[in-house]
Amino acid sequence: MNRTNFPKRYLIVILTFISTCVCYIERVGFSIAYTVAADAAGINQSSKGTILSTFYYGYACSQVPGGWAAQKIGGRKVLLLSFVLWSSTCFLVPLDPNRVTVLVVARLLVGVAQGFIFPSIHTVLAQWVPPHERSRSVSLTTSGMYLGAAMGMLVLPSLVKFKGPQSVFIAEAALGVVWSLLWFGYATDPPRSEHPKATAAGFGESLLPTKASQKIKVENGGTTVRTAKIPWKRILVSRPVWAIVVNNFTFHYALYVLMNWLPTYFEQGLQLSLQEMGSSKMMPYFNMFIFSNIGGVLADHLITKRILSVTKTRKFLNTIGFVVASLALMALPIFRTSGGAIFCSSVALGFLALGRAGFAVNHMDIAPRYAGIVMGVSNTAGTLAGIIGVDMTGQLLEAAKAVYSDLSSPESWRAVFFIPGLLCIFSSFIFLLFSTGERIFD
């Protein structure tokens, strides 16, 4: 890399992009493989919802510890450990819907391991990426989630069809191992920046210990010592932090409900076969990939050209994304063709991804030195959304099935899509009222 003058921070961003891509191949892959195996075993919708949501219990438990660990020992090391743990679990665990205890434990372990990933990534990016590149760097990294989901939806149904559900686990474990080797070989901790403006902006800072002595220069050339502590109380009572938390909850509620239940909607709600839908089934997630990067580039353009302030840029993109997504979500059950359903779900997920250029980058605006911690707090809320949304959707569908005899009527799915639609409108107002783009934590 030194011979080609390729900036090391670009390599770090590319590797984190690949990491999120691989993680979401795993998540979509389990949903697809388990759905096929569970349907073949006659598992009901409520039980499926319980298993699908188990991942998020483990994921929720490790968000804040993940941010703490990344802040204390380094995001690079924690990220590598996380990949090794979840890849090993996927490789070792058999996919048998009737072995409920084994599946529950396995999904909890995968959830705990993957819960360390995003706080670690935000810690790494806050250290490597300068402020004027943060929107597009974070957007590119997180867009890997959607490209991974799109690739999973495109390739994995065929893999299940020809090789069986267990083959998905093996393929996912192999991808995790390959990424781990790349990260181990190429990722490093950042050098500390000596430029005062860069340091003030939180770029190139060394890891902030949770409690340690730091030497600080004073006017007479000497040094003094102070104890640095993470301002937990200020973080937890901060309105801008809670604006991020609420929007993270809503974003992931909509995303996880669609990610886990869209295959069921296509197959039982619209009577379509995932295998026969071809490449169209990947469009909602591919649209997220495109719109996420559009949002990042647009946000950096608005900020660097001084068209809008950081605060106005975040609020503008967040509001546009969430309001349009809410309309598409509530319109989804009205369309009864594959084209209409793909269009609505693509618009909903695409504009949600655009909205990430608002709330999802805001961690680094308000707390660049504590980005992993704030990300852990907000992502805990996002994970709770997965637990609540995925499990409750299974119960809603089971209740609808009792009323309408099957899940082919639009009424069976109306509540499923209206709930995240209404949450999007509520969250956009919260972000408009309480968010800021200014740094509020030193």
Residue 126 located in a structural domain: yes
Band (291; pLDDT cuts 50, 70, 90):
very high
* Per-residue pLDDT at 210 exceeds 60: no
CA separation (Å) from 50 to 41, 69, 267? 16, 29, 19
Tokens of 318: 């967040």
Same domain? For 115 and 237 the reply is no
Closest CA to 206 of 192, 225, 188: 192
Band (275; pLDDT cuts 50, 70, 90):
low
Same domain? For 337 and 415 the reply is yes
List the single range of 170-184, 282-296, 422-436 with lowest mean pLDDT: 282-296
Same domain? For 270 and 163 the reply is no
Band (228; pLDDT cuts 50, 70, 90):
low
Give the max Cα distance, the chain.
81
Residue 218 located in a structural domain: no
Assess contact for 217 and 223: CB atoms under 8 A.
yes
Most confident stretch, 98-102, 267-271, 396-400, 424-428: 424-428
What pLDDT score was predicted for residue 127? Answer: 83
Same domain? For 171 and 310 the reply is no
What pLDDT score was predicted for residue 283? Answer: 86
- pLDDT tens digit sequence for 327-347: 999 999 988 888 888 999 999
Number of domains present in the structure of the chain? 2
- Distance (Å, rounded) from C-alpha 300 to C-alpha 265? 37
- Distance (Å, rounded) from C-alpha 300 to C-alpha 310? 9
Residue-range definition of the domain harbouring residue 343: 232-441
- Distance (Å, rounded) from C-alpha 304 to C-alpha 80? 33
Tell whether the torsion through CA atoms of 63, 141, 34 and 174 is positive or negative: negative
The mean pLDDT value of the chain amounts to 84
Same domain? For 63 and 152 the reply is yes
- Distance (Å, rounded) from C-alpha 441 to C-alpha 409? 50
What pLDDT score was predicted for residue 247? Answer: 96
Assess contact for 364 and 125: CB atoms under 8 A.
yes
Residue 215 located in a structural domain: no
What pLDDT score was predicted for residue 47? Answer: 81
Same domain? For 121 and 180 the reply is yes
- pLDDT tens digit sequence for 343-376: 999 999 999 999 999 998 898 889 888 877 887 7
CA separation (Å) from 416 to 81, 345, 422? 36, 13, 11
SS3 224: strand
Same domain? For 44 and 143 the reply is yes
Same domain? For 300 and 397 the reply is yes
Same domain? For 238 and 160 the reply is no
- Distance (Å, rounded) from C-alpha 321 to C-alpha 334? 21
Average pLDDT over residues 39-68: 82
Residue 221 located in a structural domain: no
Tokens of 15: 């590797």
Same domain? For 158 and 246 the reply is no
Assess contact for 175 and 28: CB atoms under 8 A.
no
- Distance (Å, rounded) from C-alpha 338 to C-alpha 3? 50
What pLDDT score was predicted for residue 192? Answer: 60
- Distance (Å, rounded) from C-alpha 49 to C-alpha 301? 42
Neighbours of 205 (CB within 10 A): 17
Band (442; pLDDT cuts 50, 70, 90):
low
Residues 6+ apart with CB under 8 A from 77: none
Residue 335 located in a structural domain: yes
Same domain? For 136 and 240 the reply is no
Same domain? For 351 and 243 the reply is yes
Tell me which of 121, 155, 189 is where a domain ends.
189
Residue 427 located in a structural domain: yes
Tell me which of 157, 172, 189 is where a domain ends.
189
pTM: 0.75
Tell me which of 130, 163, 189 is where a domain ends.
189
Residue 210 located in a structural domain: no
| CATH code of the domain in which 99 resides | 1.20.1250.20
Give 390: exposed, middle or buried? Use CB within 10 Å, 0-12, 13-18, 19+: buried
